[in-house]
């Protein structure tokens, strides 16, 4: 059997968008992923569904696997002829034990490559508005292990030289050793007024920074209940934070937002929220499923030429339609004599990805908006035939409105929606603990499924605001006994995020 290959990939400090292009390419090609505790779940979504996932995370209290077992695991999987990605937080060679792992691979003659990652030593300070070097303040910086191997008899850190020999000091994994670090620096001559910052969860939405100086940083971090993972930075560059901070002073910084979309769709909304500083909690209320033996849908597509109009009321409907079209060995040429309508910008963008620009998009992005717009079109006449592919639980407001206007309407279930029970259990836990600032609803079905999951129990929403993508979704939430605080101006994800941001700007 041909020996496989191991890629040692640095995932970056926390923000999944900081992984390198090559690192992401390795993930997509891997047969086996062996990953650490601090890896963002969104990176794991890039992995093939058939890839084997092995968690080997470590914390101070618990090691899933000892390091020597991880080393042996890498060798064993590669000898099976598989492509292995060892996914490590930060950079594998910066206090990450990547050197030990590659030594083992080299000893066993296992081919490997190292894909560097962005180290938290520079990324966390940058996200906190602290440059590790600055022409006027610091020309050098040193990265130091804040927690050395406990089996070492003597420290390898020369504290006397370190204390005064470099401008900026960056300590990794040093939260619990902060008092010792401070004592050593003061003992060997670092002035007590030297600025210090501790950056917890660097580059993540819940990043938190505590600042002080050598004289008081221990007391300040104890008062703020600091916890790992954290980066400690010592030096005059810390003074620049108040002027340069950019990541944690955005309108949604620190806000926890419950993203109740279909499991397949959470990433777009979550990314937009994260870009504005929020911490998205991806808890899909529904999961989308194909309807395997959907002869009715197939028949409608095969006979698409019998219709005058094809109208999509969701991006999911677009995706389901074209997936089915391609399965039937057909392409967009089948739609050459039919007009196509969409309900809003998100649905339109999904259609445009298929290379089609809609013939009709209403000014008001609702079913009633579609009806009003069609009614006022010069070419409208009774007897036009419509095909409406939608979810199995969709209402019939649009279909009934078209029939009242004299149209012939064929409704067909394009996909099935089912509750995501495991995710909803966690949502209940977060809500009952009052840890959610905003609950987003992007369709009536997400409201209905989340409410149904509580089985008559009342939401605890003393803190959470309710944000809805459109009037129909808002009406469903209101009927469920929820007070809608935020309503998007148009039925699109970007508009929903903008509305949430504007709401909290007004509160500031």
Extents of the domains making up the chain: 5-118, 122-244, 256-285+420-507, 290-416
pLDDT of residue 53: 93
E strand or H helix that includes residue 53: strand 52-55
Whole-angstrom distance, CA of residue 477 vs CA of residue 272: 23
Q: Which fold has domain 122-244?
A: 3.30.950
pLDDT of residue 268: 80
The β-bridge partners of 494 are none
Whole-angstrom distance, CA of residue 314 vs CA of residue 443: 9
Whole-angstrom distance, CA of residue 66 vs CA of residue 151: 14
Fold matches, 256-285+420-507 and 290-416: yes
Q: Is 144:171 a contact under the CB 8 Å cutoff?
A: yes
Q: Is 173:145 a contact under the CB 8 Å cutoff?
A: yes
Whole-angstrom distance, CA of residue 436 vs CA of residue 430: 7
What are residue 282's phi and psi, to 5 degrees?
Answer: -80, 100
CATH (residue range 290-416): 3.40.50.10090
Whole-angstrom distance, CA of residue 33 vs CA of residue 74: 10
Whole-angstrom distance, CA of residue 365 vs CA of residue 343: 5
- Give the C-alpha distances (Å, rounded to integers) separating 192 from 142, 222, 230, 257, 418: 19, 18, 21, 40, 60
CB half-sphere exposure, 278, CA atoms < 13 A: 25
Estimate to the nearest angstrom the gap between the alpha carbon of 11 and the chain centroid.
14
Q: Is 104:114 a contact under the CB 8 Å cutoff?
A: no
pTM for the full predicted model: 0.70
211 CB-near residues (< 8 Å, 6+ apart): 195, 196, 197, 198, 217, 220, 238, 241
CATH (residue range 5-118): 3.40.1010.10
Find the Cα–Cα–Cα–Cα dihedral 414, 419, 422, 423, rounded to 10°. 80
**Mutual angle of helices 367-375 and 397-404, in 10-degree steps:** 20
- What is the chain's pLDDT, residue by residue, as a tens digit (508 residues)? 688 999 999 999 999 989 999 999 999 999 999 999 889 888 987 888 889 999 998 766 566 788 999 999 999 999 999 999 999 999 999 998 999 999 999 999 999 999 999 999 999 999 999 999 999 999 999 999 987 654 566 778 899 999 999 999 999 999 999 999 999 999 999 999 999 999 999 998 889 999 999 999 999 999 988 889 999 999 999 999 999 999 988 889 889 998 876 655 557 888 899 888 898 887 765 677 888 888 999 999 999 999 999 999 988 899 999 999 999 999 999 999 899 999 988 899 999 999 999 999 998 888 888 999 898 887 788 899 999 999 888 888 899 999 999 999 999 999 988 766 666 677 777 777 788 899 999 888 788 877 776 665 655 666 789 999 988 899 999 998 889 999 999 888 899 999 999 999 887 6
Instruction: Give me the residue label for tokens 């409410």.
Output: 451
Q: Is 317:389 a contact under the CB 8 Å cutoff?
A: yes
Residue whose C-alpha is closest to residue 198's, from 213, 187, 186, 183: 213
Catalytic residues: 36, 58, 173
What burial class does residue 348 get, using C-beta atoms within 10 Å of its C-beta: 0-12 exposed, 13-18 middle, 19+ buried?
buried
Q: Is it true that domain 256-285+420-507 has CATH number 3.40.50.10090?
A: yes
- Tokens representing residue 367 in the block: 């079913």
Estimate to the nearest angstrom the gap between the alpha carbon of 285 and the chain centroid.
16
Instruction: Give me the residue label for tokens 């597509």.
Output: 301
- Give the C-alpha distances (Å, rounded to integers) separating 364 from 27, 409, 488: 42, 21, 12
Whole-angstrom distance, CA of residue 493 vs CA of residue 350: 13
Q: Is 31:84 a contact under the CB 8 Å cutoff?
A: yes
């Amino acid at each position: 059997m041909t020996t496989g290959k191991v890629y040692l990939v640095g995932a970056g400090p926390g923000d999944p968008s900081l992984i390198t292009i090559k690192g992401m390419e390795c993930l997509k090609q891997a047969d086996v992923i062996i990953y650490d505790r601090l890896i963002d779940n969104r990176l794991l979504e890039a992995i093939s569904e058939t890839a084997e996932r092995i968690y080997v995370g470590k914390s101070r209290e618990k090691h899933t696997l000892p390091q020597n077992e991880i080393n042996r695991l890498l060798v064993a999987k590669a000898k099976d002829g598989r492509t292995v990605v060892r996914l490590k937080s930060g950079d594998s060679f910066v206090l990450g034990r990547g050197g030990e792992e590659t030594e083992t691979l080299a000893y066993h003659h296992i081919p490997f490559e190292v894909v560097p990652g962005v180290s938290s030593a520079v990324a966390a300070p940058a996200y906190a508005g602290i440059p590790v070097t600055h022409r006027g303040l610091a020309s050098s910086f040193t990265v130091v292990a804040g927690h050395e191997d406990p089996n070492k008899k003597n420290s390898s850190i020369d504290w006397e030289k370190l204390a005064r020999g470099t401008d900026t000091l960056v300590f990794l994994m040093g939260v619990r050793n902060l008092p010792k670090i401070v004592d050593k620096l003061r003992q060997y001559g670092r002035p007590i007024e030297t600025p210090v910052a501790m950056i917890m969860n660097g580059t993540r939405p819940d990043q938190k920074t505590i600042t002080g100086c050598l004289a008081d940083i221990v007391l300040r971090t104890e008062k703020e209940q600091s916890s790992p993972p954290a980066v400690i930075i010592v030096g005059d560059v810390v003074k620049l934070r108040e002027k340069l901070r950019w990541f944690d002073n955005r309108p949604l910084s620190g806000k926890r937002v419950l993203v109740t979309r279909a499991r397949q769709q959470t990433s777009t909304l979550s990314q937009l929220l994260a870009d504005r500083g929020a911490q998205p909690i991806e808890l899909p209320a529904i999961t989308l499923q194909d309807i395997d033996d959907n002869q009715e849908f197939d028949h409608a597509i095969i006979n698409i030429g019998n219709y005058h109009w094809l109208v999509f009321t969701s991006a999911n409907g677009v995706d389901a339609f074209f997936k089915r079209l391609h399965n039937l060995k057909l392409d967009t040429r089948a739609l050459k004599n039919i007009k196509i309508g969409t309900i809003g910008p998100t649905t339109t963008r999904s259609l445009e990805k298929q290379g089609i620009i809609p013939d009709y998009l209403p000014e008001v992005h609702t079913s009633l908006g579609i009806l009003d717009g069609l009614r006022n079109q010069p070419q409208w006449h009774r007897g036009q035939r419509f095909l409406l592919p939608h979810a199995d639980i969709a209402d019939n407001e649009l279909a009934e409105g078209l029939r009242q206007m004299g149209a012939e309407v064929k409704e067909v279930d394009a996909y099935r929606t089912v509750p995501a029970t495991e995710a909803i259990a966690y949502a209940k836990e977060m809500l009952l603990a009052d840890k959610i600032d905003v609950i987003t609803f992007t369709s009536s079905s997400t409201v209905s499924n989340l409410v149904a999951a509580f089985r008559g129990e009342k939401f605890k929403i003393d803190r959470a605001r309710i944000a809805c993508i459109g009037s129909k979704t808002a009406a469903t939430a209101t009927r469920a006994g929820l007070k809608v605080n935020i309503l998007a101006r148009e039925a699109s994800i970007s508009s929903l995020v903008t509305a949430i941001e504007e709401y909290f700007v007004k509160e500031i």
